[in-house]
Amino acid sequence: MQTELKIPILPRRIVSQQFSDADIERLAQGLADPENRMVEIIGALINVHKNDVCDTREIRVKFKDMQIELAPVNGHINLLCSRVPRDCLYDGRNVIWQSVEHISAVIRDIIFAPKHSCNGDDCRSTNIKKFVEHSGLMYRGERGLVMFTWGGHQVPLDEYNFAKELGYWTALFMPDMENITGCGVGVMKAPFKGAQVAYGKQNSFERFGHRDFIGFSEKQILAAEAPNELVTQLLTFPTIEERMEAFIRASHRGKVHPGGAGTVEEILTMLALLSMPDNKGIPYEFDLVEMGGGVYFKELDEYLKICFGDALDGLYNVHVGTARAYANYVAYQTQNLNTRYLWNDDLVFDPRIQEPFEVTFESMEGLDLSRDQEAFSLLINLRRFFSGVVHLTVKDPDMLDSWGDDSPLIKGDKNILAATDQLVRKLAKQGRIHPSKSNKPAYRIE
């Protein structure tokens, strides 16, 4: 069964005033551009069954008949969506309003993205800041603590409940604080649900003004991990590297819950950044957090020791215990932290952290996981390896299938390779990595 929808486009999310004729023409061209994948993305955003989706191809098939065109009505611009599957709508007729907000935010970031003010390695951070400014996120006034949360899309219920409880206690201890997550389901939704209750108990909106639930996504992953409807500020970055830099610069500290290959990729990125001599004196706490009895981060810590020895000591903290104890610890530390400014310009990002890693058969085989390199370079190569696993299992599984029976051969130190392969297999066994439809591995090792 299919239906027709009119989805209003909200100028306040995109331009400072009403759309001009030039804006409408730009919008029409952007919707029609296959590079923007707008049918796929809008389909993912209006789909109420987000929790059940883990493969972009599922969305592509579900919305293959949907067509989108512009429909002006009484001076307003709507998206006229025809041949929409009824079962993607909560009542078979209407879109959840927050998804309407998200659609306009995505149009802003993909079709109306700001032009780069400059080019070259030195300009990457400037352009990311300009992108975030363009969304309006940085102009709401002073904030309290802003903390990013990374973690899994697919997690067991007890881990989800712990992340939600932690969101509750941190917002109860610090009622003016805010969270940034990857905006999907699982650990990306849990902190918001917990904070909602705490904000209500602490009357946060009346005392401190509106608190945002901030979600950072990326164009290639949006359809497979669509934003949850609690997100009030959605930003969709062009690349995963820009998204991760924004996470770090727009937060005062970070925490990570157990997750899959993408979570390991994020951890390795953060450790590469914190290991740089230029960033040694800059206060930035990075916590790996799980409930009492958990062994995920104990095992990850052991993996990092196999790969790096003691080179990463002091760059991260492992917290295993109750949500309340961790929240109390963060609140105590925050008393001495300057949280007035949202954007951290002090951190230095090496170009190797910022450079997009284009996943191909050849680029995967070109990765060097040997010990014959400095710790920073090995962190970058391992981060790119896990980025490749995410790309081939979530973002573009068609690429993996196109290689037939072959998979890229990863080369390096035998102990690092064995430990890395064991970690990936463990994540897959725990259900933290999306299996390919053919159950084909994304790589081979020597």
pLDDT tens for 12-49 read: 888 767 888 899 999 999 999 999 999 999 999 999 88
Residue 230, pLDDT above cutoff 90? yes
Give the pLDDT confidence score for residue 115 in this predicted structure. Answer: 86
Strand pairing of 178-181 and 146-150? parallel
pLDDT at 439 over 80: no
Please determine, for residue 436, whether its predicted confidence score (pLDDT) is greater than 70: no
- Residue 94: which of 180, 13, 8, 26 has the closest Cα? 8
Residue 96 has pLDDT above 90, yes or no: yes
Q: Specify the pairing of strand 76-85 against strand 67-73.
A: antiparallel
Q: Note the pLDDT of residue 437.
A: 60
Query: What pLDDT sits at residue 111?
Result: 96
**Predicted confidence (pLDDT) at residue 141 exceeds the cutoff of 70:** no
Query: Contact at 8 Å (CB) between 153 and 259?
Result: yes
Q: Is the pLDDT of residue 353 over 70?
A: yes
What is d(CA 138, CA 252) in angstroms, rounded to the nearest whole number? 14
Q: How far apart are CA 308 and CA 294, in angstroms?
A: 23
Q: What is the mean pLDDT of residues 382-404?
A: 93
- Confidence band for 140, pLDDT divided at 50, 70 and 90: low
The mean of the pLDDT values for the chain is 93
C-alpha torsion 388→390→392→397, nearest 10: -160
In DSSP terms, 3 is beta-bridged to: 84
Structural element, H or E, at residue 355: none
- Residues pairing with 78 in the sheet: 8, 71
The residue count of the chain comes to 446
Find tokens 């992340």 and name the residue: 163
Stated as kind and residue range, the H or E segment containing 358 is none
Nearest alpha carbon to residue 413 among 381, 368, 363: 368
Average pLDDT, stretch 3-20?
A: 87
Tokens representing 273 are 């950044």
CA 201 from chain centre, in angstroms, equals: 29
H or E element that contains 291: strand 286-291
What pLDDT band is residue 121 in, cutting at 50, 70 and 90? low
Judged by DSSP in three states, 56 sits in helix
What pLDDT, on the 0 to 100 scale, is given for residue 435? 67
Average pLDDT, integer, range 386-398:
91
Weakest mean pLDDT among 39-48, 51-60, 121-130, 226-235: 51-60
**Higher confidence at residue 442 or residue 121?**
442
From residue 40, give the alpha-carbon distance in Å to each of 4, 78, 239, 391. 16, 18, 18, 17
Position 443: which residue type? Y
H-run or E-run covering 111? none
Q: What is the mean pLDDT of residues 254-262?
A: 97
Confidence check: pLDDT of 151 > 70 = yes
For residues 27 and 11, give the distance between their C-alpha atoms in angstroms, rounded to a whole number: 12
Q: State yes or no: pLDDT of 142 exceeds 80.
A: no
Look at strands 2-8 and 76-85 and give their pairing.
Answer: antiparallel
Summarize the confidence of residues 291-310 as an average pLDDT.
Answer: 96
Which tokens is 237 given?
């970055």
* Higher pLDDT, residue 21 or 79: 79
Write out the H or E segment, with its range, that includes residue 233.
strand 233-237
- State the average pLDDT over residues 284-308: 97
How does residue 438 score in pLDDT terms, banded at 50, 70 and 90?
low
Res. 84: pLDDT tops 90: yes
